[in-house]
Structure 1
Amino acid sequence: MATHYPESRVLIIMTGGTICMKSSPEGLIPARGFLKEGMAPRPSFNDGSNPDPLPVMVSSTEQELLPSLRTPPSTYSRHVRYTLYEFPILLDSSSISSAGWTQIALTVLNNYSLFDGFVILHGTDSLAYTSSALSFMLSHLGKPVILTGSQASIFSLQSDAVDNLLGSLIIAGTFMIPEVGLFFHNQLLRGNRATKTSASSFDAFSSPNSPPLATVTAMGAQVNWHLIRRAKAIAKFDVQIDLDTAHVACLRIFPGIKAEMIDGVLRIPGLRGLILETFGAGNAPTGEDGSLTAVIKAAVERGIVVVNVSQCQSGTVSPLYAPATVLGRAGVVFGHDLTTEAALTKLSFLLALPGLSYADITTQMSLSLRGEMTELEAAVFAPPTIDEPTIPVDQTAFTALGHAITSGDIDAVTAFLDADPSIIGRGDYVENTPLHLASVGPDTRIVRELLRRGASVHARNRAGNTPLFLARQVRNMDIVALLKDSGAMLHVEEKENRGLTSGTSTPVTTTAMEERF
């Protein structure tokens, strides 16, 4: 008898890039029908099961049924079922702007309730900029969004495309990593920590100031769970569109640069921010008679936000040397270990937010919003003593946490979460997470505490059920309301089993879909 494996659903969004190009007499051109031509013929992408088409929201109101494929069972005994949506007009990564980022973000938003994860195919030239921008644009993200591309086309004899795409697909469909990541050369990097370091090597991206979130080896994916960031607010997933990139400039300091050059940039009409790439730990020449510092100070007084980042790939901007301190006194914001890509997109994001004052923006530029800069490590407290020595420590801790949850002991729950924050993402023998256990009661306060600490409302147990489904089953409507306030939604398979999806290609609004459960 054939073994039945669970499956997850992933939407691949094809924006363009080398990965989907093929040769022509005029050179490389985008290959339309990428799912059929580039993926279906490869056994690693297609188990031959010929699954039904999947619904995809191609706009906020229009749904289409698109062909789907399914991977063979992975190392984790799971299929990944996926479909691919090609942008009607493919984006040139070297010419991408905030309009392209908005198009990607809205595609994720419109399909957020239909898929477990998202993979975005993108050209490598500006891949680090797009991954940084999306990390700020996607607020309260609870599902994996992974960008990837390749140095050579998937149709080339020697290419990195298959490994990059398959690795992204498996991670997005297997692990609940609620971040924007960039997957390349067997490593999942935090999107706003990545930078392109080679124009030709398959190992084209690096994350100099932050370890990979996950690494793929012959044994499978090793996820650094202690690095994973989770949204810690009771709020639904949303996006901020139209980043203010047109009013932010980037300038690299070099020996002998004239104050007039910097002043010319700072006086561009409509300029609101400048990313200043300086030497070493944030140093820049002061100019004759302090003229260079004077033009920067004058710009700051005019309300222009100036952020100091290092030209070095590794290290941080700090007031270690006098020149950096002089810039700080002139009102320049220390960018710490931000990449240039993250600094530019973060500042553009903050400038696009309504109601922020100059002081608000400069303050938030110095704080980590999405893990884009290194934070001070939090204190680690010893776990509470548990009298169950015959079980491995991690299993013992989870069992004791489960007992505290089902007993309604909020103090014990808090103590366990303080002792080991990573326990919030673990599961029992049927893959129930702490939030699954808390969703059937008895204490709403425990659910709120788990959500405040980043518990995933989208995780599914071995039966394929979400915490929201379990809360509805026991009719705990207070917890149902709290979960929905945090962005919880029934998984598409849960809705299908309840007859809540039509299976048609007729136009339907996302709001209407949500109201049906």
Structure 2
Amino acid sequence: MASQYPENRVLIIMTGGTICMRPSPEGLVPARGFLEAGMKPNPSFNDGSKPDPLPVMTDANTEEYLPSLRTPLSTYSRHVRYTSFEFPILLDSSSISSAGWSQIANTIRNNYSRYDGFVVLHGTDSLAYTSSALSFMLSDLGKPVILTGSQASIFALQSDAVDNLLGSLIIAGTFTIPEVCLFFNEALYRGNRTTKVSASSFSAFASPNCDPLAKISAMGAEVNWNLIKRPTAIAGFKVIPDLDTAHVACLRIFPGIKPEMIDGVLRVPGLRGLILETFGSGNAPSGEDGSLTSIIRAAVKRGIVIVNVSQCQTGSVSPLYAPATVLGNAGVVFGHDLTTEAALTKLSFLLALPGLSYEEITKQMQISLRGEMTETAKLQFSHPASGLPSLTDQQSVFTALGYAIAAGNLESVIQLLNGDQFDLLGAKDYAENTAVHLAAVGTNNDVLRELLKRGASIHVRNRAANTPLFLAGKVGNQEAVGLLREAGAHLHIEEVETVGKRNHDM
């Protein structure tokens, strides 16, 4: 049954975890049929409309139509329609490995053009590791991928499962946040900034060095758009499927640690990288007569990448104290404010990339690839263009941007974006057209190219439920169509159906 209100489609990927578990004689075990048993009976997840099944690619070559549900009308006057794909083998998260991460990433890739967002249900024990890993594996991501779980099963009387799942579902089906995120206890975090801080509290996760990307309240979701990372390359979504976790170790420094303990780890056959958790700002004992430092220097000479991260939740590794400087001089990489989870998965990701030299890996470990570390702030100076309206609020500035796009005035567009304090890339006009919608039917495709390079979304639909690609094709702007396709744009599945019906009627 169709709805008179717009709806976005979300694929829930069920990997296992506490959220879907039921009691058994052996304890809690993952349960099958989560959509039917865990979500359908709850009116928060089901408006009772009985929508048609949705297509899901269960692997690269197999399509199945799975039952779908539709949420009641949200605060944003839209529904979220969704289905659930359950992995053939449901996992306890403590058992997940890089193979499981690849399975999640490939499921997203196979269904990327069919859904507006993805929610991954996962156990909490390794949730921060999976969130970090996926952030590196999913390159040029243009849609939300939100991981969540719960401390208690959705079938339990007192549980955080409903709030975590519903919050993830609404955000993934409403906002085009092109990041791998983790949603827990009413907060949306950047996935590679999170760490688990409690085994029992509903506030199980924290993001110590990065504010939440969004928070849920009684008024809805408040998104901090200034923090959102957008893809800035004109390239389509792709998956880097493998991480080299088998050749990376993690070691926590403690008072009195013997140098030979560290040497033993560094001589594990096949070891290529080590995450060293040190004290404070990156300090570690040098050992008697500098023996520990000598061991580390020798390992670096053998080509092992050693990354220094802090045991503290907040703060950053830096050469503030002499012991940290000594490690740096021995060839250890400063991990700045990387979490251990992000450091391990990032290093595993870089080691798996073909052709990267030792120097290139160490360089990329110290720069932000997916927002996983705090970048040094850079001052920007710009001068307002003459004749532009007073930049008093988002509406007036976006109107100015719209006029500049319509006129094909690339210089004015650049000036407005350089001084942007109003999230112009995410703003919409009265018809819910974004700047990319306007540029797709504009007169100067260099404007469209500039917007794409700055990370403007190609997947947002306007009030008529049209993507920029659809509009570009409708007006015959083939250059814009090619540019949008190059950036990874595709017609929404409803547009595909509309185009097919129109062609059939003709």
TM tier relative to shorter chain: over 0.9
**Residue 243 of structure 2 is aligned to residue 232 of structure 1:** no
Partner of 2:493: 492
Partner of 1:513: none
Partner of 1:510: none
Partner of 2:440: 439
Alignment of 1:66-81 (within 5 A): 66-81=66-81
Secondary structure of the residue that 1:15 maps to in structure 2?
strand
CA distance in 2, matches of 1:132, 1:318: 22
CA distance in 2, matches of 1:177, 1:500: 31
Partner of 1:506: none
CA distance in 2, matches of 1:395, 1:412: 17
Query: C-alpha deviations, 1:259-300, integer Å up to 9, x for none?
Result: 100000000000000000000000000000000000000000
Partner of 1:275: 275
CA distance in 2, matches of 1:123, 1:3: 34
Alignment of 1:334-353 (within 5 A): 334-353=334-353
CA distance in 1, matches of 2:268, 2:426: 48
**What one-letter code is carried by the residue in structure 2 that aligns with 1:55?**
P
Q: Is the 8 A contact 2:388 2:400 kept in 1?
A: no
Q: Is the 8 A contact 1:148 1:183 kept in 2?
A: yes
Query: C-alpha deviations, 1:347-385, integer Å up to 9, x for none?
Result: 000000011000000000000000000012233446546
Partner of 2:478: 477
CA distance in 1, matches of 2:388, 2:444: 25
Secondary structure of the residue that 1:399 maps to in structure 2?
helix
Alpha-carbon offset, residue 29 of structure 1: 1.6
Note closer, same or farther for the CA distance 1:176–1:289 as it changes in structure 2 (3 Å cut).
Answer: same
CA distance in 1, matches of 2:411, 2:489: 25
Structure 2 length-normalised TM: 0.97
Partner of 2:178: 178
**What one-letter code is carried by the residue in structure 2 that aligns with 1:265?**
V
Across the aligned residues of Structure 1 and Structure 2, the Cα RMSD in angstroms comes to 1.4
Partner of 2:369: 369
CA distance in 2, matches of 1:497, 1:440: 20
CA distance in 1, matches of 2:341, 2:75: 35
CA distance in 1, matches of 2:46, 2:320: 55
Partner of 1:108: 108
CA distance in 2, matches of 1:253, 1:33: 45
CA distance in 1, matches of 2:225, 2:341: 25
CA distance in 2, matches of 1:146, 1:449: 28
CA distance in 1, matches of 2:387, 2:278: 52
Q: Is the 8 A contact 2:389 2:397 kept in 1?
A: no
Secondary structure of the residue that 2:42 maps to in structure 1?
coil
CA distance in 2, matches of 1:76, 1:223: 13
Alpha-carbon offset, residue 388 of structure 1: 4.3
CA distance in 1, matches of 2:13, 2:301: 43
**Residue 153 of structure 2 is aligned to residue 153 of structure 1:** yes
CA distance in 2, matches of 1:414, 1:229: 19
Secondary structure of the residue that 2:8 maps to in structure 1?
strand
Secondary structure of the residue that 1:119 maps to in structure 2?
strand
**Residue 218 of structure 2 is aligned to residue 218 of structure 1:** yes
Q: Is the 8 A contact 1:105 1:137 kept in 2?
A: yes
Query: C-alpha deviations, 1:25-67, integer Å up to 9, x for none?
Result: 3321211100000000000000000000000000011100000
Partner of 1:28: 28
**What one-letter code is carried by the residue in structure 1 that aligns with 2:90?**
L
Partner of 1:354: 354
Alpha-carbon offset, residue 242 of structure 1: 1.5
**Residue 163 of structure 2 is aligned to residue 166 of structure 1:** no
Partner of 1:58: 58
Give the stretch that moved more between structures: 271-280 or 393-402. Answer: 393-402
Partner of 1:90: 90
CA distance in 1, matches of 2:3, 2:234: 39
**Residue 263 of structure 2 is aligned to residue 257 of structure 1:** no
Q: Is the 8 A contact 1:149 1:165 kept in 2?
A: yes
Secondary structure of the residue that 1:157 maps to in structure 2?
coil
CA distance in 1, matches of 2:178, 2:475: 27
Alignment of 1:293-332 (within 5 A): 293-332=293-332
Secondary structure of the residue that 1:84 maps to in structure 2?
strand
Gaps of 5+ in 2: none
CA distance in 2, matches of 1:456, 1:32: 36
**Paired positions, count:** 499
CA distance in 1, matches of 2:266, 2:427: 50
CA distance in 2, matches of 1:494, 1:238: 22
**What one-letter code is carried by the residue in structure 1 that aligns with 2:16?**
G
Alpha-carbon offset, residue 241 of structure 1: 1.1
**What one-letter code is carried by the residue in structure 1 that aligns with 2:85?**
Y
CA distance in 1, matches of 2:46, 2:281: 50
Note closer, same or farther for the CA distance 1:466–1:378 as it changes in structure 2 (3 Å cut).
Answer: farther
Secondary structure of the residue that 1:425 maps to in structure 2?
coil
CA distance in 1, matches of 2:25, 2:89: 21
**What one-letter code is carried by the residue in structure 1 that aligns with 2:126?**
S
**What one-letter code is carried by the residue in structure 1 that aligns with 2:28?**
L
Gaps of 5+ in 1: 502-517
CA distance in 2, matches of 1:399, 1:384: 15
CA distance in 2, matches of 1:274, 1:451: 37
Q: Is the 8 A contact 1:119 1:147 kept in 2?
A: yes
Q: Is the 8 A contact 1:184 1:203 kept in 2?
A: yes
CA distance in 1, matches of 2:98, 2:67: 30
Alpha-carbon offset, residue 393 of structure 1: 2.1
Alpha-carbon offset, residue 227 of structure 1: 0.1
Alpha-carbon offset, residue 95 of structure 1: 1.2
CA distance in 1, matches of 2:234, 2:189: 26
Q: Is the 8 A contact 1:384 1:419 kept in 2?
A: no
CA distance in 2, matches of 1:453, 1:412: 15
Note closer, same or farther for the CA distance 1:206–1:355 as it changes in structure 2 (3 Å cut).
Answer: same
CA distance in 2, matches of 1:387, 1:200: 55
Query: C-alpha deviations, 1:426-453, integer Å up to 9, x for none?
Result: 1111110000000002111111100000
